[in-house]
Each structure stands twice: as C-alpha cells, then as structure tokens.
Amino acid sequence: MARNTVRIYTNIAVSSCSGSGPAYTINYGSSVANVQVGDIVTVYKMAVGEGAHSGSDEDSKYTYRVTGITDSDTLTITYVTDTNGDGDDSPCDLPSGEGSSGDPGKAPHIFDRNLGSAFLMFVE
C-alpha cells in the first residue's frame, strides 16, 4: 500500500453482483458504509485450490474504482486494470483460491482510499 493511501476494509465477502463490464453492481455480505466514490477496490485472483492470497502468490491483481453507492452494502465498481493483462473480468468471477473447480470461492475485496498528494505534506 502506498504512503498516501489508507485501508478502509479488508477481506469483504461478495454476496452477489450484476453487470457485464466494465461497470458492476456488487452486493456485499457486510456493510461497506465508509466507502466513498473514487475509492480503490483490489481483488486477488488465485488459482482454484491454491489457497487464500498470502503475499505475492496471486495469478493476477485486479483493480476497480468505486463509481457509485446504492446503500450501505451495495456499490457500483468499474474495472481499471489487472497485473496479468487479462482485461476486464467480473469481480464475482475471480476465484479466491479456495473451494473446487466446480465451486470456487469468490475472492474477497479490499478497499483503499487515495489521500492525494496534499496529504504528503503532513507525513515525514
């Protein structure tokens, strides 16, 4: 995580989602009420059966941006990029590394807020 960002939530489970990209409406299993439009969502795509993310062992790191808020547990997020160059993929289709090929677990979402360059003047 960069110096000028702050972690809002870690490991938030996805309940359901809709959309065909690049924008997706996501319903989360718990409240994400502290999220703001513009926050960054990180999702680690793991190979099925590989286990949960534990550092840099992911198949790809997907980045989305929060572009809309419906209520305390439903957001619209838009695909930005992924480290493997696979392109836009639904955040509900990214496996967590747990489960089986017939029933892969959904990768949890991590929320960060970019505080911007103005924040740096307060950090030594």
Per-residue pLDDT of 13-40, as tens digits, reads 999 999 988 999 999 999 999 999 999 9
Please write the tens of the pLDDT for every residue from 67-76.
999 999 999 9
Distance CA 8, CA 42 (A): 11
Distance CA 63, CA 47 (A): 18
Please write the tens of the pLDDT for every residue from 96-118.
888 777 777 889 999 999 987 66
Inform me whether the pLDDT recorded for 120 exceeds 80: no
Least confident of 23-27, 54-58, 88-92, 113-117: 54-58
CATH 3.40.50 for domain 5-112, yes or no, is no
- Three-state secondary-structure class, residue 123: coil
Helices H, strands E: what count in the chain? 0, 9
Closest CA to 88 of 51, 116, 63, 54: 63
DSSP class of 113: E
pTM beyond 0.95: the answer is: no
